[in-house]
A = this chain, B = another copy of it.
Amino acid sequence: MKIGELAALVGVSTRTIRHYHHQGLLPEPERRANGYREYLLRDAVILARVRRLAELGLSLDEVRDVLADDQGKDLREVLRELDDDLARQQLSIQKRRERLAALLAETDLDADSAVSPAMASVLRTLPAGGSTFADFDREMLALVDTTAGPGEREAFAAMLRPLTEPEAVARGHAIYARMDDLADAAPDDPRVAALAREVAGHLPAEMKAMMLAATANGHDQWLDEMPLHLSPAQAKVFDLLMDILQEER
């Protein structure tokens, strides 16, 4: 039979058959005088076998291997690996669907897709007006929010809740202003230490605990990544803050 007939018989495209020839999965058959490939039933059998394995999810390379040491010895091994692989895929899809469901539930309430709704509501009430450092802080919070896992986001936003109360907002506003003032200050400026203490008094206990845990945990980077936008004095505030937190513990 001709290639189109074989293709129709087994249910693949002629391109697929030629591809398999090229990959050595299906031997090239005899040619007719006109150059057409002349297939026999055997070829259909082989092709059908290849398709069966390929449709199970084996790569063409794996199919070739399996067909090569035809003993069925290696076959079971490969199939088991494949099954493990599929099991993993199932799990990962399951997790993705769960995250999706959470995301869908969220966006039903709040259309802001940039950050989680929990964080969005926090950001709405945090001080923002014109402070360079406030902008920096907001971006940092947004970043943490987007990189966190689904459950972590709510926990993180909950941690920030105390900072959204009117008193705390006013106090935060002042802190941002004092941070801005340190933009060009020297690291040993007396305002640095004072501000660190102020911040230590301002932050919720849970947040301090998390910051300590994060630095202890090898996630030391979260501070070291940012100094690009912090002046030396501002960076020093963070250093001192961390020292204070360690002592408090």
Is the CB–CB distance between A72 and B113 below 8 Å? yes
* Contact partners of A73 in chain B: CB under 8 A: 111
Size band of the interface chain A makes with B:
35 or more
Q: Is the interface of A mostly helix, strand, loop or mixed?
A: helix
Report if A87-B83 is in contact (Cβ < 8 Å); known contacts: A107-B75, A140-B41, A146-B49.
Answer: no
Contact code string A50-86 (vs B, CB < 8 Å = 1, else 0): 0010011100000000100011110110011011001
Indicate if the CB atoms of B229 and A146 lie closer than 8 Å.
no
The stretch of A97-105, A157-165, A196-204, A206-214 in contact with B is: A97-105
Stretch of A88-96, A166-174, A233-241 with 4 or more beta carbons under 8 angstroms from chain B: A88-96
24 contacting pairs across A/B (C-beta < 8 A): A5-B225, A9-B221, A9-B225, A41-B140, A41-B143, A44-B139, A45-B143, A48-B146, A55-B96, A56-B96, A70-B113, A70-B114, A72-B107, A72-B113, A76-B107, A79-B103, A79-B104, A80-B104, A83-B97, A83-B101, A86-B96, A86-B97, A86-B100, A90-B93
